[in-house]
Amino acid sequence: MTSVPLVSVFSADDSSKVTAKHIPLPAVFQTPIRPDIVSFVHTNIAKNRRQAHAVNPQAGMQHSAESWGTGRAVARIPRVSGSGTHRSGQAAFGNQCRKGRMSLPIKVWRRWHRRVNIKQKRHAAATAVAATGIVPLVLARGHRISQVPQIPLVVEDKIESYEKTTDALNFLKRFGAFEDVQKVVSTKVVRAGISKQRGKKYRVRKGPLVVYFNENAKLLKAFRNVPGVEVVNVTRLNLLQLAPGGQLGRFVIWTQSAFAHLDKLFGTYRYTSIIKDGYQLLRPLITNPDLARIINSNQVQEKVQPAKTTKVLHEVQKKNPLKNSKAMDRLNPYAKKQRAAAVAAIKANTKGTKKIKKNKALKKASRAAYNKVAASLNDATKAAVQEEQDIKVKYFSVQKGAAQTE
Amino acid sequence: MSQKKPQMQVEQKVPENIVKKTARDTKLREAVAKRRTERLAANKTRRAQWEKNAQAYENEYKAADKSLIDNIRKAKSEGGFYVPAESKLILVVRIRGINTLNPQVRQTLRLLKLRQLHNAAFVRVNKATIEMIRKVEPYVTYGYPSRAVIKNLIYKRGYAKINGQRIPITNNNVIEQQLGKVGIHSIEDLIHEIVTVGPNFKEANRFLWAFKLRGPRGGFIAKRKSFINQGDWGNREDLINDLVKRMI
């Protein structure tokens, strides 16, 4: 790589003035971003600040409770001995019992702390530092850096001599970092849960992290009371501060000497670190991140097969060719002619025949004929019909009479 | 963020990636367009051939019908009888379900492609197949299909077996792909092969999946009895056509 990313150092008094132009970025900012390492190291390191606690070993066990055994129509759980009080005969000792001891009571000799390999810790720290130089990561972490002139923000060493908080505040305002501080202030909330009664009343967000170098710097006191701001010496960079919650991308304000010290601290890709004895920065898995270029390169494109097309052998839906003429023509182009020929044949057969119309004359004639037939019924049939009618009349008249008499 | 920028030229340079990609894309597009024109031209000649074949078959069928009628008339006029050749083709329809089957019968039905109730399949007539059908006679009904029934079966219920899959015969590519090498290129070719039991009948019939018919409208008479005994199973010769018309 012939071109090296460059960084400007800003004047502490005036954010538009640059005291040193084009300082090369320390190699640690080039390490590959490994959120997996950071998350692993963070979850373990975060456990190291824990203080041992335990439940009272006697809790729930200060009874002479004994099980009543079987045969007394009660559960076999140990029961409080004695009499004369509600408590007697109640269940005791079990984790399921009221006033019983918890299951697996916490012991002080629980393994509170975790050790992590030094190399992993160093890789995590390096990645976290690299992430502080990547704007999208810092934004994603939630810092308000839209007005900050440069990420990573490097300022001249003058701020290390700030003693007054007003100086610190004005400095932050000048560099657009005050928005982040305001965020911290406005989102301070009372903590949910019982910890608020145990000295952790408020949940406060993280603001900028100021990193200095000189040991006798006074800026700690100046920045101490600004909500959200943390101050740390570059030799004591802490993953818990660089990636709070395991989340990469803390907003960091570097002093010039702290920034320059990073190369000695983490080493470069040419030289291992002096301070972290023998530590070599992680090398990236691929050296050329330009995937588009790799894919479109001649070497790759020569070997690549043409893109597969979904070759459809048959139509998605089967249509019945006997009913659907389009489907039929697709299969048998001769069918069209056959259909036309069939229609022509019908036309040829019906040539000369008139269309059948309702013939009123015919209808009248047929009706007359029918009546004639009806009239010429032979006498036997007539007599039978007459007899039937007589019976009907008789029946009805009898009914009438019956109704009247009754 | 503040990198050292060299003195930039004013002229716009197209990135190498894009130049390469556009060159590749145009080449691919041209190839596709060329393939398409070739395919369309080939399709045109193919369709002309299908039409020609279909017409030839129609004439052949008409001639066959005519010759049958002529022979009958001729025989009658001479005072004799014309006995047409026995059918070379049988259509077998399975009329019994899958439960409680004799294993030999089960296997034979499977060999005949009749794995399911109301499945129908074409079978060539020879000693071997006659014996097979005799074995499964009480479970099937069979007869000699007419040309119209064969045509309707293949058009409406025709599916192909391609790579072990049941593919509908919606276009002639389906047929061309599998049977092109034995000279069957269109559906009319296929129907002709089945009807005449041609030299490639084996391939043509193997290409066809068993016809999955519906139950006959109007029902069976009595599947427990043979057709001869006023039932349904066994040989019903030409009357298979009436049954299958109700099942298509």
The pLDDT-based confidence of A3 (bands split at 50, 70, 90) is low
**A357-382 in b/e burial notation, b at 16+ Cβ within 10 A?**
eeeeeeeeeeeeeeeeeeeeeeeeee
Nearest Cα of chain B lies from the Cα of A346 at a distance, in angstroms, of 19
Chain A residues within 8 A of B50 when measuring between CB atoms: 332-334
B114, HSE (Cβ side, Cα atoms, 13 Å):
30
Of the candidates B2, B21, B168, which has its C-beta nearest A7's C-beta? B2
Residue A322 to residues A328, A366, B121, B150, B242: CA-CA distances in angstroms? Answer: 7, 44, 20, 13, 18
Distance between CA atoms of residues A45 and A37, nearest Å: 12
pLDDT classification of A1: cutoffs 50, 70, 90: very low
| Of A332, A337, A335, A340, residue with least CA distance to B170 | A332
- B22 CB near a chain A CB, below 8 Å? no
Q: Supply the Cα-derived Rg of chain B in whole angstroms.
A: 28
Parallel, antiparallel, or unpaired: how do β-strands A230-233 and A209-212 relate?
parallel
Token pair for residue B199?
Answer: 């030299």
Q: What is the mean pLDDT of residues A383-394?
A: 83
Q: Answer yes or no: are the C-beta atoms of B184 and B178 closer than 8 Å.
A: no
Q: Residue A316 has what pLDDT?
A: 86
Q: In which element (H, E) is residue A280 found?
A: none
**How far is the alpha carbon of A146 from chain B, nearest alpha carbon, in Å?**
14
Taking CB atoms and an 8 Å limit, are B1 and A293 in contact across chains? no
ipTM: 0.88
* pLDDT tens by residue, B9-41: 567 888 887 888 899 899 989 999 999 999 999
The two structure tokens encoding residue A133: 């130089």
Q: Tell me the shortest Cα–Cα distance from A316 to chain B, in angstroms.
A: 9
| Best of A312, A334, A338 to mutate (most B CBs within 10 Å, chain B) | A334
Per-residue pLDDT reduced to its tens digit, A114-159:
999 999 999 999 999 999 999 999 999 999 999 999 999 999 999 9
As a whole number of angstroms, the distance between CA A198 and CA A12 comes to 40
Structure tokens at B94: 């399975």
- Inter-chain CB proximity A296 and B170 less than 8 Å: no
Q: Which residues, in sequence order, are bridge partners of residue B94?
A: B140
- Asked if B17's CB is within 8 angstroms of A332's CB, the reply is no
Contact B4 A3 (CB under 8 A): yes
Residue type at A264? Answer: K
What pLDDT score was predicted for residue A405? Answer: 45
The answer to whether the CB of A322 falls within 8 A of the CB of B155 is yes
Task: Say which DSSP state A85 is in.
Answer: S
| Mean pLDDT along residues A159-178 | 96
Q: In this predicted structure, what is the pLDDT of residue A297?
A: 87
pTM, entire model: 0.61
Of B20, B58, B171, which has the smallest distance from its Cβ to A296's Cβ? B20
Chain B residue with minimal CA distance to A296? B17
Identify the closest residue of chain B to A293 by CA–CA distance: B17
Low pLDDT (below 50) residues in chain B = 1-2
Q: For residues A117 and B152, give the distance between their C-alpha atoms in angstroms, rounded to a whole number.
A: 78
The answer to whether the CB of A264 falls within 8 A of the CB of A153 is no
Token reading at B177: 């792909």
Helix (H, G, I), strand (E, B) or coil at A154: strand
**Token pair listed for B67:** 């010759």
Q: Tell me if B2 and A321 make a contact (CB, 8 A cut-off).
A: no
Q: What does the pLDDT read at residue B8?
A: 60
Query: Given an 8 Å threshold on Cβ–Cβ distance, is B171 in contact with A334?
Result: no
